[in-house]
């Protein structure tokens, strides 16, 4: 008997999980999603009219369901609802009318739609938790008694991975930023991306549903000499991603919505040369 109870419980929990975390579809759209709806008219010359109601068959959904073209056999509907609307029922109506005036004859079909939470989210991971600069220190003389040290650049790599994207839609976007201390510049040489992504300086656009690799060349523009601290050249670069959105408008549904990871760049903290 206990085994039967456990089995039933497992089935119920699985069903609830599937309902809560299903991919966004036309009958279970996630907040912000756009989906296509279509009919085959009885006659090609008939008049088509799409509408959406909320909670029942009569209350207009208004701006919560935006229809792209209300008089065509195929239309897109964007579900502009907030997370508070998850679980609410909407009804997509289509009326096909043949003829005009007193001789008009119509038919109506209705599709129930329930807003569901999306499982889509992003994460970011640094390739290395710690690393060195790309090359050796360049030592130069300002004058016979003054030595300068140029530490150059450190190439820092990150990977952004999408989770639970719908196979029905291809692509996503997110905002990208890198935090580094003063005197460290990562835009002298702009970051590079895997071939499936591009960046406008703020937003990364990805053309498929795959992960993205990002490479920052951080240039240490500070001037160091023998009076500088032994660890003065060390720094931390923290990359963050936020505002993840799928190509059809579903927003990142992670716990925070903003994710970051960091790489610590350092050389051996060699002291100045002592003498007697």
112-137 residue pLDDT tens: 999 999 889 999 999 999 999 999 99
Fold of the 121-265 domain: Immunoglobulin-like (2.60.40)
Q: CATH 2.60.40: which residues of the chain?
A: 23-114, 121-265
Is residue 173 left, alpha or beta, with left meaning phi > 0 and alpha meaning psi from -120 to 50? Answer: beta
* CATH C-level class of 23-114: mainly beta
DSSP state of 265: E
DSSP state of 251: B
Do the beta carbons of residue 163 and residue 121 sit within 8 Å?
Answer: yes
Rg (CA), the chain: 29
pLDDT digits (tens, 9 = 90+) for 90-109: 999 999 999 888 889 999 99
Q: Which helix (H) or strand (E) holds 11?
A: helix 2-20
- Name which of 159, 196, 154 is nearest 176 in CA terms: 159
pLDDT over 60 at 78, yes or no: yes
- Name which of 255, 241, 204 is nearest 124 in CA terms: 241
pLDDT over 50 at 148, yes or no: yes
What per-residue confidence (pLDDT) applies to 102? Answer: 85
pLDDT digits (tens, 9 = 90+) for 6-36: 333 333 333 333 333 457 899 999 999 999 9
Do the beta carbons of residue 124 and residue 259 sit within 8 Å?
Answer: yes
Q: How many residues are listed for the chain in this entry?
A: 276
- Where are the alpha helices (H) located in the chain, listed in sequence order? 2-20
pLDDT digits (tens, 9 = 90+) for 158-191: 999 999 998 888 999 999 999 999 999 999 889 9
Max mean pLDDT among 41-45, 85-89, 211-215 falls in: 211-215
Name, in order, each residue with C-beta under 8 angstroms of 213's C-beta and a sequence gap of 6 or more. 157, 158, 159, 193, 194
Confidence of residue 42 (pLDDT cuts 50, 70, 90): very high
Cα 85 to Cα 52: distance, rounded to the nearest angstrom: 15
What tokens does 213 get? 């690799």
What per-residue confidence (pLDDT) applies to 257? Answer: 82
| Bridge partners, 174 (sequence order) | 204
Cα 10 to Cα 272: distance, rounded to the nearest angstrom: 66
């Amino acid at each position: 008997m206990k085994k039967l109870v456990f089995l039933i419980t497992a089935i119920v929990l699985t069903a609830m999980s599937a309902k809560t975390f299903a991919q966004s579809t036309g009958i279970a759209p996630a907040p912000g999603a756009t989906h296509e709806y279509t009919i085959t008219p009885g006659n090609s010359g008939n008049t088509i009219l799409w509408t959406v109601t909320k909670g029942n068959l009569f209350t207009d959904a208004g701006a919560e369901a935006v229809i792209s073209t209300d008089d065509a056999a195929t239309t897109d509907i964007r579900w502009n609802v907030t997370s508070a609307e998850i679980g609410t029922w909407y009804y997509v109506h289509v009326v096909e009318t043949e003829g005009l005036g007193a001789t008009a004859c119509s038919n109506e079909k209705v599709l129930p739609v329930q807003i569901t939470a999306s499982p889509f989210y992003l994460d970011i991971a640094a390739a290395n938790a710690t690393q060195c600069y790309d090359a050796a220190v360049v030592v130069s003389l300002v004058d016979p008694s003054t030595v300068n040290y140029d530490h150059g650049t450190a190439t820092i790599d990150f990977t952004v991975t999408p989770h639970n994207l719908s196979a029905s839609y291809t692509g996503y976007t997110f905002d990208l930023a890198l935090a580094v201390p003063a005197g460290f510049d990562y835009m002298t040489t702009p970051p590079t991306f895997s071939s499936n992504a591009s960046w406008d300086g703020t937003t990364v656009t990805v053309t498929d549903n795959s992960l993205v690799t990002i490479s920052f060349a951080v240039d240490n523009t500070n001037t160091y000499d023998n009076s500088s601290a032994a660890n003065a050249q060390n720094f931390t670069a923290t990359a963050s991603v936020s505002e993840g959105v799928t190509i059809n408008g579903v927003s990142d549904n992670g716990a925070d919505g903003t994710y970051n990871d960091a790489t610590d760049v350092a050389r051996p903290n060699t002291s100045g040369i002592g003498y007697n």
